Amino acid sequence: MFFFLASKPMWQQKKPRGVTKEMSSSSQVFSPFRAIGFCCNHLPLVSSSLGAETFVVTSVGRAFHVYTCDKLRLVFVGTQQPDQLQCLAIQGKIVYASYQNVVKAFKRGQEVNTYLGHEGEVQFILPFGEHLISIDDSNVMRIWHSVSKELYGEMHFDVCSFTILSALHPSTYLNKLLLGSQQGQLQLWNIRTSKLVYTFKGWGSAVQILAQSPAVDVVGVGLESGGIVMHNLKYDQTVMRFHQEWGPVTAMSFRTDGTNTVATGSSIGHIAVWDLDKKRLSTILRNSHNGSVSGLQFLQSQPVMVTSGPDNSLKMWIFDQSDGSARLLRSRCGHSAPPTKIRFTSTGGDAVKILSGGLDNALRVFGVHKDVAMNMELSQGSLLKRSKVRGVKVETLKLPAVADFAAESVRADEWDGVVTCHAGHGSIQTWNLNKYTIGQHTLSSKHADLGAKPKATVDPLEVLPWTPSTWRCSQAPVMEPSSCMLAVAADNFTVSIVDTGGRKVVRRFRGHTNRITDMSFSPDGRWLVTSSMDCSVRTWDLPTGRMIDIFLVESPATSIALSPSGDFLATTHVDDLGIYLWSNKTMYSHVSLRPLSEKIKPTFTDLPTTKLTEHDETDVESNTQRNENELTMDDVSEKCTPLAEGLVTLSMLPKSRWSNLQNLDIIKQRNKPMEPAKTLKLAPFFLPTLPGLQPKFLPSEEGSDIPVTEVGGGSKILNLGELNPLSEFQKCLQQCAGSNQYAPLMDLMKELPPASIDAEFRSLAPESGGSVEWVEHLMTFLLETVRTNRDFELVQSYIGLFLKLHSSLIRESPDLLTLTEKLLSEHKQAWTSLQHDLNMSACLLAYCKSAVI
């Protein structure tokens, strides 16, 4: 384990200026991909319920995360802001966040509004109906119209007499805002008239938290002294009062599922649950977080509580124990202290994981592609029970911080595949990565001196300890197994490549200006990537012995690792809890890897952000059950526009909307009732009525105004075509046929379910009240739509249904036969072009898989 100290840290210096374009260089190999391992920070969480789903929003520095409470899945990530977020709020689908003196509104992670005007840093945000209230550190409160961004009002408070710390809109109090102060007083204001309604004297301590209780007029007040007060605003009376002995109240929330309890958080990680009926302490959740409990919220009408803290953990607790206490239901955590060592590993299959050891005494696993299901800490045994028996924190029973580790996936299902050495610990511990638990073996080491920290390297057959004094190196040597090359970082900031077979130095790389922190070989053994305290990450080409890439980061990298396939580079950094992934651009584009000049001046590159991958975004859309109709038809039309001439586009509709159009009759036959409907024994007599919203009796034949047609022999046939008015589909078809613009008709048909499409197609036939002219209009629509190459699969399904329903009519009409020949010609042309492209792509893929390139 290394503690990074420097007299003049480069990551605290300003970026160099005056770098010319010819002499500067950014990374030509690696580009930022995403950051993992972040869950939350010290800002309190906020929550909102939308239907049956509840969302939780947390801050992760310059962005925010939105999680669903069903499995704590990350569904949205806010855009990266110029500075650290100061506070959060949520109202429905809108998330409000502030940094410096700026307040912004976001929807689905995208910015929709910006509110400017504060002179100080915004410290508090409160949505208030159609308004938004923001309070800055200069004690100025501004009231905005949340949609138009107009300033509704502004109020200034004296810092010496009333410094605002908290705010709450009391339930059922119209236009009223309750403010808590550093001086201990509370004030009730009417924000519409900007007048002070009432002043509460307080309890002689700063008001940290204000929370609305399920009872009208009663609010919960959390004090800096640890006091918890239930106060009636209407009568200015204290209903009950508690006190927690762990310092200030940092969070408070009431249960709303019928159980009269309130939970409060503390600055040392304990959570107290108070019984309001019995007016006493009910239970304590000790050490729920490693540090302060910054956020605490009960879910609406559920015995579930969500908490967050600066230890980078988000936890859900459920109150289902017989004694009324809670148990941990699920959690989402990252490192609570900076990770110092990372390596890629795999336990079989396609799942690639990152093994990470940090200063928080934890060994964790992070998934690269789908980190939700694979993010976890390797268990060190039943520490929770032991901590309760001894009355100490779980962290005190863990092994010391991981100084170094190595992993091997060969036969990992048969024995422990990970070994770790720990700071101040004279033994080596094994771990089982398949079971995510501590191993059965503890290997003794002769390096018992606390000053000599052994470095672990793993060979499939043996474990060898190395010491810095033996190699005179600043970092553990790294072995390339296929070529048996050993990379050694020396104290003079150089890297030597040693051929272990020939026992000689074959390459030596110079260029770093500070201590080298980590090294990693590429899977093919051609590259060596190194990081240093000079804030640079360099890539060296072993065959040529030259540097081919370099870039700078603002915080020095403490550990780096290349993935087994070489598509990702992972880095960790000083005083940073996250793991950052960089994509290898040579895997998906042509990159000219020319040796770089020694005079090259690298440029700073921003670290990756916590954005979602395409796989995660797909999961978000399916799991949150997003309605397809949320997209307007203009948006759909814009997204369905072909990228180039000759290309086809799909309709973006679910497969269920078009795949079974030709089989609806089979589906109806399969789903029909097993037994016919039974008639009532004593059915009442009803006079025949006409269909419609207003019931009308069917008139007699003499006075009937129903259109009929006289036929030979005096018979009369009811004209169904004149009886039924035109449907919306037929009206749109008629208008489009007149203008020869069929886009509105396609937009309408996309909104209709399959059964309605089938019914509308059938209604155009003469025997259903239609005519041959209506069928011609529909065929013209299909013909023109095929020519556009848009909504390709949807149009094919419509053509199949049309031919199935009206094939007999087409054979009898010469005009329809002519249109059918044109439609067949256009269809063959479109399909032949598509089939040619598909065959070409399939051939190319087969060649890439089988041929040796």
pLDDT digits (tens, 9 = 90+) for 137-166: 999 999 999 999 999 999 999 999 999 999
Higher pLDDT among residues 541 and 20, named by residue: 541
CA distance 823 to 795: 12
Side by side, the strands of the sheet bearing 313-318 are 295-298, 304-309, 313-318, 327-333
CA atoms within 13 A on the CB side of 321: 12
**Cβ–Cβ under 8 Å, residues 480 and 489:** no
For the chain, the average pLDDT equals 82
- pLDDT bin (cut points 50, 70, 90) of residue 502 is confident
Band the pLDDT of 336: cuts 50, 70, 90.
very high
Nearest Cα residue to 763 out of 819, 755, 794: 755
Residue 25 clears pLDDT 60, i.e. is over it:
no
Nearest to 294 by CA among 106, 87, 97: 87
Instruction: Write the CA distances from 816 to 463, 729, 773, 774, integer angstroms.
Output: 81, 21, 9, 11
pLDDT over 70, % of the chain: 81
In this prediction, residue 692 carries a pLDDT of 55
Residue 502 · residue 512 · CB < 8 Å:
no
Q: How confident is the model at residue 686 (pLDDT cuts 50, 70, 90)?
A: low
CA 123 to CA 97: how far, in whole Å? 10
Q: Which amino acid is at 711?
A: V
Instruction: Grade residue 379 by pLDDT with cuts at 50, 70 and 90.
Output: confident
Q: What six digits make up the tokens of 514?
A: 């500070």
On the 0-12 / 13-18 / 19+ scale of CB atoms within 10 A, 528 is: buried
Q: Which residues on neighbouring strands pair with residue 458, listed in sequence order?
A: 463
Give 386 or 254, the one with higher predicted confidence.
254
Summarize the confidence of residues 299-325 as an average pLDDT.
Answer: 93
Q: Quick check: 191 and 153 in contact, CB under 8 A? A: yes
Greatest alpha-carbon span in the chain: 118
Of 79, 100, 174, nearest in space to 131 by CA: 174
The two structure tokens encoding residue 560: 């780096």
Tokens of 575: 């005083």
Of 129, 128, 79, nearest in space to 102 by CA = 79
What percentage of the chain exceeds 90 in pLDDT? 45
Split at pLDDT 50, 70, 90, the class of 11 is very low
How large is the average pLDDT for residues 613-629? Answer: 44
* pLDDT tens figures, 258-297: 899 999 999 999 999 999 999 999 999 988 999 999 999 9
Beta bridge partners of 209: 222
Least confident of 236-245, 335-344, 490-499, 646-655: 646-655
Give the integer Cα–Cα distance in Å for 496 and 487: 6
Kindly give the pairing relationship between strand 30-36 and strand 579-584: antiparallel
Tell me how far the alpha carbon of residue 682 is from its chain's centroid.
61
- Most confidently modeled range among 15-24, 328-337, 814-823, 838-847: 328-337
- Please give the structure tokens belonging to residue 757: 């499409």
Q: Please, are residues 556 and 533 in contact by the beta-carbon 8 Å criterion? A: yes
DSSP strand pairing (601-602 vs 24-25): parallel
**Plot region of 478 (φ>0 → left; ψ -120 to 50 → alpha; else → beta):** beta
| 586: amino acid identity, one letter | T
The whole-number pLDDT of residue 411 equals 78
* pLDDT higher than 70, residue 471: no
- Report DSSP letters for 206-243, one per residue: -EEEEEE-SSTTEEEEEETTSEEEEEETTTTEEEEEEE
Whole-number Å distance between alpha carbons of 583 and 327: 40
Sign of CA dihedral 29, 34, 36, 39: positive
**Strands in 92-159 per DSSP E:** 94-99, 102-107, 110-115, 122-128, 131-136, 140-145, 151-156
pLDDT digits (tens, 9 = 90+) for 229-262: 999 999 999 999 999 999 999 999 999 998 999 9
Q: Over the stretch 404-428, which tens digit does the pLDDT of each residue have?
A: 888 887 877 788 889 999 888 878 8
- pLDDT tier at 19, thresholds 50, 70, 90: very low
Q: Which residue has the tokens 């960790």?
A: 572
Pick the residue with more confidence: 470 or 661?
Answer: 661
Closest CA to 45 of 63, 17, 66, 73: 66
Question: How far does CA 345 lie from the centroid of its chain?
Answer: 24
- The per-residue pLDDT for 719 is 53
Judged by DSSP in three states, 693 sits in coil
Per-residue tokens: 372: 């939700």
Q: What is the pLDDT of residue 724?
A: 60
DSSP character at residue 597? P
Region 564-577: mean pLDDT is 93
Lowest-pLDDT choice from 383-387, 751-755, 779-783: 383-387
Strand ranges in 9-68 using DSSP code E only, listed in sequence order:
24-25, 30-36, 46-50, 53-59, 64-68
Q: Amino acid identity, residue 210?
A: L
> Which among 291, 215, 297, 218 has a CA at the least distance from the CA of 251?
297
Per residue in 59-109, pLDDT (tens digit) is 999 999 999 998 888 888 999 999 999 999 999 999 999 999 999 999 988
Instruction: Look at residue 462 in the predicted model and tell me its pLDDT.
Output: 42
Note the pLDDT tens digit of each residue in 720-776: 555 567 888 888 888 888 888 888 888 888 888 888 888 888 888 888 888 888 888
Q: What is the CA radius of gyration of the chain?
A: 35
pLDDT for residue 27: 87
CB 244 within 8 A of CB 272: yes
**How far is it, in rounded angstroms, from Cα 518 to Cα 530?**
6
Mean predicted confidence (pLDDT) in 4-18: 37
168 neighbors 252 (Cβ within 8 angstroms): no
Of 819, 695, 797, nearest to 746 (Cα)? 797
- pLDDT at residue 469, rounded to an integer: 44
What is the Cα–Cα distance from 232 to 281, expressed in whole angstroms? Answer: 21
